[in-house]
Structure 1
Amino acid sequence: MKPVLVAIVLVVAMPAGAAAAWMLMETMLVATSGPAFCTTCHTMAPFARTFRADVHGGSNPEGTAALCTDCHLRHDNVAAYLWTKARFGAHDVWAQLTYDLEAIDWRAGLARRAEYTFDSGCLKCHRALADVRGNQPAFVAHRPYFLGEIERKCVACHPHVGHRGLAAALPPSATGEADP
């Protein structure tokens, strides 16, 4: 009887448990990937507002919108995606609980946008740019990037992508410096 029980556990229970764990993880990843979740904190209000006004936030003829994680997580591979999601998520929870949120200089963060916007996310949706050839404007503009002749990230040339009018929507700098 014992070998039969072990066989049942190995053949049925373990795969069922693994499938249930995967479905739960997938559900949680999807539930925590879009603006509905990412903008629940009041500090994210300007980011939500400017995202909705941007072409990537659905302000386009098709109404198609990216998820926050499409741009703000690495898409090189599953491990990189999960690691970045866990690291950024833990940081954001820690910040909400411990930082003086009124003292954060959000405008200074704009200069560091390449630290939390990933080319692999851009290329997930815009992969066709790598295949453009000839004298087409998209090819000419992106040729040095795809040939590895420059080391700039996408947001270096596209600084306002994803959040139309963000600099103007952010609260005044807590440092007392003039707004850009």
Structure 2
Amino acid sequence: MKKLTRPRLTTVLLIVIAILIGGLVGIGTFTFGYAQGASYLKSDSQSCANCHVMQGHFDAWLKSSHGKFAGCNDCHAPHDGVASKYYCKARNGFFHSLAFTTGDFEENLRITDYNRRVTEQACRNCHQDLVHQIDINAIGELQNDKTERLESNACIRCHSSVGHDT
């Protein structure tokens, strides 16, 4: 067997790396197309039901009080800028596709802490006048060290089914 010279070894390594990168890009492109990934870049709530696990949530949203006034992104994407909105969409897209591809998810989906904070801020954004008055009254009744906990998830703690009323 002939020994590989350094330039030949470099060429072989570059070919192997190119094949690996090409394979990853190809698989990623196929997966993105198969999963209708481009639909998630828009604000069409129907795209959230591309996966069968979300169909029940989508159907409940259609019948809910929010179904007439707010889309999925209104509640489940940040409102503080385009970068944070698409970071949230990319983050969720990656973890959702990973979970659904590997089958590592509970049929009864649970919201993550990150998405709970996003949703809480969305409630506060749309209902800021009402929430502000509630916060002022509640803060007056609580000690200062409990204020942060109150503001972090007060809306969805009491109104967890709003948006997906059953």
Residues 144 and 150, structure 1, Cα contact 8 Å, conserved in 2: no
Greater helix content:
2
The normalised TM-score by structure 1 is 0.54
CA distance in 1, matches of 2:92, 2:40: 16
Contact 1:113 1:155 in 2 (8 A): no
Identity of aligned residues (%): 28
Alpha-carbon distance in structure 2 between the residues aligned to 1:125 and 1:29? 25
CA distance in 1, matches of 2:91, 2:124: 22
> Residue type matched to 1:116 in 2?
N
Within-5 A mapping of 1:13-162: 32-58=42-68, 65-99=69-103, 104-106=106-108, 109=110, 112=111, 115-117=114-116, 118-130=119-131, 139-140=133-134, 143-144=137-138, 149-152=147-150, 153=153, 154-162=155-163
Gap regions ≥5 residues in structure 1: 1-27, 59-64, 132-138, 166-180
Q: Once superposed, which parts of structure 1, at least 4 consecutive aligned residues long, lie more than 6 Å away?
A: 145-148
The 3 A distance-change label for structure 1 pair 86 and 145 is farther
Q: Equivalents in 1 of 2:114, 2:156: separation in Å?
A: 10
- Measure, in 1, the Cα distance between the counterparts of 2:139 and 2:115: 19
Equivalent AA in structure 1 for residue 78 of structure 2: R
The whole-number CA distance in structure 1 between the counterparts of 2:51 and 2:39 is 18
1:140 and 1:125 mapped to 2: Cα distance?
A: 14
- Give the drift of 1:143: 3.3
**Length-normalised TM-score, structure 2:** 0.58
What value does the CA root-mean-square deviation take over the aligned residues? 3.1
Rate the CA distance shift 1:30–1:95 in 2: closer, same or farther, 3 A: closer
CA deviation vs aligned residue, 1:45-100 (integer Å, no higher than 9, x gap): 11011111110012xxxxxx311111112223333222111101111222222215
